[in-house]
Structure 1
Amino acid sequence: MHPGANTLDTAAIVKMTRTLAIIPITLVLALLRTRREGKQGGAQVDIKKIFPWFVLLFLVASIITTLLPIPAGLVSFLKSASKFFIVMAMVAIGLNTDIVKLVKTGGKPIFMGFCCWVAIACVSLLVQHLLGIW
Protein backbone atom coordinates (compact mmCIF):
# COMPACT_ATOMS: atom_id res chain seq x y z
CA MET A 1 0.00 0.00 0.00
CA HIS A 2 1.26 3.46 -0.89
CA PRO A 3 2.04 5.59 2.21
CA GLY A 4 -0.07 8.40 0.79
CA ALA A 5 -3.18 6.21 0.94
CA ASN A 6 -2.86 5.91 4.72
CA THR A 7 -2.42 9.66 4.98
CA LEU A 8 -5.48 10.23 2.83
CA ASP A 9 -7.58 7.89 4.99
CA THR A 10 -6.45 9.66 8.16
CA ALA A 11 -7.11 13.08 6.63
CA ALA A 12 -10.60 12.03 5.56
CA ILE A 13 -11.41 10.83 9.08
CA VAL A 14 -10.09 14.03 10.65
CA LYS A 15 -12.03 16.17 8.16
CA MET A 16 -15.28 14.28 8.79
CA THR A 17 -14.80 14.51 12.56
CA ARG A 18 -14.23 18.26 12.37
CA THR A 19 -17.20 18.70 10.06
CA LEU A 20 -19.55 16.70 12.27
CA ALA A 21 -18.29 18.52 15.37
CA ILE A 22 -19.93 21.69 14.01
CA ILE A 23 -23.36 20.37 14.96
CA PRO A 24 -22.95 19.86 18.73
CA ILE A 25 -20.69 22.89 19.08
CA THR A 26 -23.23 25.24 17.50
CA LEU A 27 -26.05 23.75 19.56
CA VAL A 28 -24.13 24.28 22.81
CA LEU A 29 -23.08 27.81 21.85
CA ALA A 30 -26.66 28.71 20.89
CA LEU A 31 -27.94 27.43 24.24
CA LEU A 32 -25.24 29.30 26.19
CA ARG A 33 -26.02 32.49 24.31
CA THR A 34 -29.73 32.07 24.97
CA ARG A 35 -29.17 31.65 28.69
CA ARG A 36 -26.77 34.60 28.89
CA GLU A 37 -29.08 36.94 26.96
CA GLY A 38 -32.06 35.74 28.97
CA LYS A 39 -30.32 36.68 32.23
CA GLN A 40 -29.17 40.10 30.96
CA GLY A 41 -32.41 41.25 29.37
CA GLY A 42 -34.79 39.54 31.72
CA ALA A 43 -36.86 38.39 28.75
CA GLN A 44 -36.90 34.90 27.34
CA VAL A 45 -34.82 34.55 24.18
CA ASP A 46 -36.27 32.41 21.40
CA ILE A 47 -33.70 29.82 20.32
CA LYS A 48 -35.29 29.76 16.85
CA LYS A 49 -34.01 33.30 16.31
CA ILE A 50 -30.40 32.56 17.17
CA PHE A 51 -29.98 28.99 15.96
CA PRO A 52 -27.82 28.77 12.81
CA TRP A 53 -30.21 27.00 10.42
CA PHE A 54 -27.45 26.18 7.96
CA VAL A 55 -26.42 23.43 10.39
CA LEU A 56 -29.71 21.59 9.87
CA LEU A 57 -29.49 22.08 6.11
CA PHE A 58 -25.93 20.74 6.21
CA LEU A 59 -27.13 17.70 8.15
CA VAL A 60 -29.97 17.07 5.67
CA ALA A 61 -27.58 17.38 2.72
CA SER A 62 -25.17 14.94 4.39
CA ILE A 63 -27.93 12.39 4.96
CA ILE A 64 -29.23 12.71 1.40
CA THR A 65 -25.79 12.28 -0.18
CA THR A 66 -25.07 9.31 2.07
CA LEU A 67 -28.32 7.43 1.50
CA LEU A 68 -29.26 8.29 -2.09
CA PRO A 69 -27.28 7.71 -5.27
CA ILE A 70 -26.63 11.05 -6.95
CA PRO A 71 -25.91 11.20 -10.70
CA ALA A 72 -22.35 12.19 -11.63
CA GLY A 73 -23.61 15.10 -13.74
CA LEU A 74 -25.45 16.57 -10.77
CA VAL A 75 -22.41 16.11 -8.52
CA SER A 76 -20.24 17.93 -11.06
CA PHE A 77 -22.74 20.78 -11.31
CA LEU A 78 -23.04 21.07 -7.51
CA LYS A 79 -19.24 21.15 -7.13
CA SER A 80 -19.01 23.97 -9.68
CA ALA A 81 -21.87 25.85 -8.03
CA SER A 82 -20.25 25.35 -4.63
CA LYS A 83 -16.96 26.85 -5.83
CA PHE A 84 -18.82 29.78 -7.38
CA PHE A 85 -20.75 30.53 -4.18
CA ILE A 86 -17.61 30.27 -2.03
CA VAL A 87 -15.86 32.77 -4.30
CA MET A 88 -18.89 35.09 -4.18
CA ALA A 89 -18.97 34.87 -0.37
CA MET A 90 -15.28 35.74 -0.18
CA VAL A 91 -15.78 38.66 -2.58
CA ALA A 92 -18.71 39.90 -0.48
CA ILE A 93 -16.62 39.71 2.68
CA GLY A 94 -13.76 41.53 0.99
CA LEU A 95 -16.00 44.26 -0.40
CA ASN A 96 -17.62 44.72 3.01
CA THR A 97 -14.27 45.06 4.78
CA ASP A 98 -13.56 48.59 5.95
CA ILE A 99 -9.80 48.98 5.59
CA VAL A 100 -9.76 52.16 7.70
CA LYS A 101 -11.49 50.39 10.60
CA LEU A 102 -9.17 47.41 10.19
CA VAL A 103 -6.12 49.67 10.45
CA LYS A 104 -7.63 51.61 13.38
CA THR A 105 -8.45 48.48 15.37
CA GLY A 106 -4.88 47.69 14.63
CA GLY A 107 -2.90 44.66 15.31
CA LYS A 108 -5.14 42.95 17.84
CA PRO A 109 -7.40 41.09 15.37
CA ILE A 110 -4.52 40.46 12.98
CA PHE A 111 -2.31 39.23 15.83
CA MET A 112 -5.11 36.99 17.10
CA GLY A 113 -5.56 35.50 13.63
CA PHE A 114 -1.83 34.94 13.37
CA CYS A 115 -1.75 33.24 16.79
CA CYS A 116 -4.64 30.97 15.79
CA TRP A 117 -2.87 30.09 12.55
CA VAL A 118 0.37 29.24 14.41
CA ALA A 119 -1.51 27.17 17.00
CA ILE A 120 -3.39 25.19 14.35
CA ALA A 121 -0.18 24.60 12.39
CA CYS A 122 1.69 23.42 15.51
CA VAL A 123 -1.10 21.08 16.62
CA SER A 124 -1.36 19.70 13.09
CA LEU A 125 2.37 19.03 12.90
CA LEU A 126 2.37 17.48 16.38
CA VAL A 127 -0.47 15.11 15.50
CA GLN A 128 1.27 14.16 12.26
CA HIS A 129 4.46 13.48 14.20
CA LEU A 130 2.65 11.39 16.82
CA LEU A 131 0.94 9.36 14.09
CA GLY A 132 4.25 8.82 12.33
CA ILE A 133 3.10 10.60 9.20
CA TRP A 134 5.74 13.33 9.40
Structure 2
Amino acid sequence: MKCCTKKIQTIIAGHFGLGPDLFGPLKTLSKFLICMAMAAIGLRTNLFSLVKNGRAALLVSLICWLGVTVLTLIWQAILGIW
Protein backbone atom coordinates (compact mmCIF):
# COMPACT_ATOMS: atom_id res chain seq x y z
CA MET A 1 0.00 0.00 0.00
CA LYS A 2 2.87 2.37 0.75
CA CYS A 3 4.17 1.96 -2.79
CA CYS A 4 0.86 3.03 -4.30
CA THR A 5 0.56 5.97 -1.91
CA LYS A 6 4.00 7.26 -2.89
CA LYS A 7 3.10 7.02 -6.56
CA ILE A 8 -0.11 8.95 -6.03
CA GLN A 9 1.73 11.62 -4.04
CA THR A 10 4.34 11.95 -6.77
CA ILE A 11 1.71 12.22 -9.51
CA ILE A 12 -0.23 14.89 -7.62
CA ALA A 13 2.93 16.84 -6.75
CA GLY A 14 4.13 16.65 -10.35
CA HIS A 15 0.79 17.90 -11.58
CA PHE A 16 1.08 21.00 -9.41
CA GLY A 17 4.74 21.55 -10.28
CA LEU A 18 6.17 20.49 -6.92
CA GLY A 19 9.45 18.62 -6.80
CA PRO A 20 10.24 15.49 -4.78
CA ASP A 21 12.56 17.52 -2.52
CA LEU A 22 9.42 18.93 -0.88
CA PHE A 23 8.34 15.53 0.51
CA GLY A 24 10.99 15.41 3.26
CA PRO A 25 9.88 18.59 5.05
CA LEU A 26 6.20 17.69 4.56
CA LYS A 27 6.80 14.29 6.12
CA THR A 28 8.50 15.91 9.11
CA LEU A 29 5.69 18.44 9.42
CA SER A 30 3.04 15.70 9.33
CA LYS A 31 4.80 13.78 12.13
CA PHE A 32 5.00 16.96 14.22
CA LEU A 33 1.31 17.73 13.71
CA ILE A 34 0.29 14.17 14.64
CA CYS A 35 2.36 14.44 17.84
CA MET A 36 0.73 17.78 18.67
CA ALA A 37 -2.76 16.34 18.12
CA MET A 38 -2.04 13.29 20.27
CA ALA A 39 -0.62 15.50 23.03
CA ALA A 40 -3.70 17.72 22.92
CA ILE A 41 -5.98 14.70 23.23
CA GLY A 42 -3.90 13.29 26.09
CA LEU A 43 -3.78 16.57 27.99
CA ARG A 44 -7.56 16.91 27.85
CA THR A 45 -8.19 13.36 29.11
CA ASN A 46 -9.49 13.07 32.65
CA LEU A 47 -7.98 9.78 33.88
CA PHE A 48 -10.16 9.51 36.99
CA SER A 49 -13.32 9.87 34.93
CA LEU A 50 -11.99 7.43 32.35
CA VAL A 51 -11.28 4.76 34.96
CA LYS A 52 -14.56 5.40 36.78
CA ASN A 53 -16.82 5.29 33.71
CA GLY A 54 -14.89 3.01 31.39
CA ARG A 55 -13.75 0.08 33.51
CA ALA A 56 -15.24 -2.55 31.22
CA ALA A 57 -13.70 -1.00 28.10
CA LEU A 58 -10.32 -0.66 29.81
CA LEU A 59 -10.47 -4.29 30.93
CA VAL A 60 -11.32 -5.51 27.43
CA SER A 61 -8.51 -3.43 25.93
CA LEU A 62 -6.05 -4.78 28.52
CA ILE A 63 -7.07 -8.36 27.74
CA CYS A 64 -6.71 -7.72 23.99
CA TRP A 65 -3.31 -6.09 24.49
CA LEU A 66 -2.08 -9.01 26.59
CA GLY A 67 -3.46 -11.51 24.07
CA VAL A 68 -1.73 -9.84 21.14
CA THR A 69 1.53 -9.63 23.12
CA VAL A 70 1.46 -13.30 24.12
CA LEU A 71 0.52 -14.52 20.65
CA THR A 72 3.23 -12.37 19.07
CA LEU A 73 5.88 -13.76 21.42
CA ILE A 74 4.70 -17.34 20.80
CA TRP A 75 4.77 -16.80 17.03
CA GLN A 76 8.26 -15.28 17.23
CA ALA A 77 9.43 -18.28 19.27
CA ILE A 78 7.98 -20.68 16.68
CA LEU A 79 9.73 -18.82 13.85
CA GLY A 80 12.99 -18.67 15.81
CA ILE A 81 13.10 -14.88 15.82
CA TRP A 82 12.97 -14.58 19.62
- Quickly name the TM-score band, shorter chain normalised: 0.5 to 0.7
Instruction: With the length of structure 2 as denominator, give the TM-score of the two structures.
Output: 0.62
Residue 14 of structure 2 corresponds to: none
**Structure 2: which 5+ runs fail to align?**
12-18
Matches within 5 A, 1:84-95: 84-95=32-43
Partner amino acid, structure 2, of 1:133: I
Bigger RCO (CA 8 Å, 6+ sep)? 1
Residue 50 of structure 2 corresponds to: 102
Q: Is 1:132 matched with 2:80? A: yes
- CA distance in 1 between counterparts of 2:68 and 2:79 reads 16
Aligned-residue RMSD, C-alpha = 2.9
- CA distance in 1 between counterparts of 2:42 and 2:49 reads 13
Instruction: With the length of structure 1 as denominator, give the TM-score of the two structures.
Output: 0.43
TM superposition shift of 1:90: 0.8
Partner amino acid, structure 1, of 2:24: S
Matches within 5 A, 1:1-134: 63-66=4-7, 68=10, 71=20, 73-105=21-53, 107-134=55-82
- CA distance in 1 between counterparts of 2:67 and 2:22 reads 38
Q: Deviations over 1:68-107 (max 9, x none)?
A: 4872x32321221121122122123213323342132253
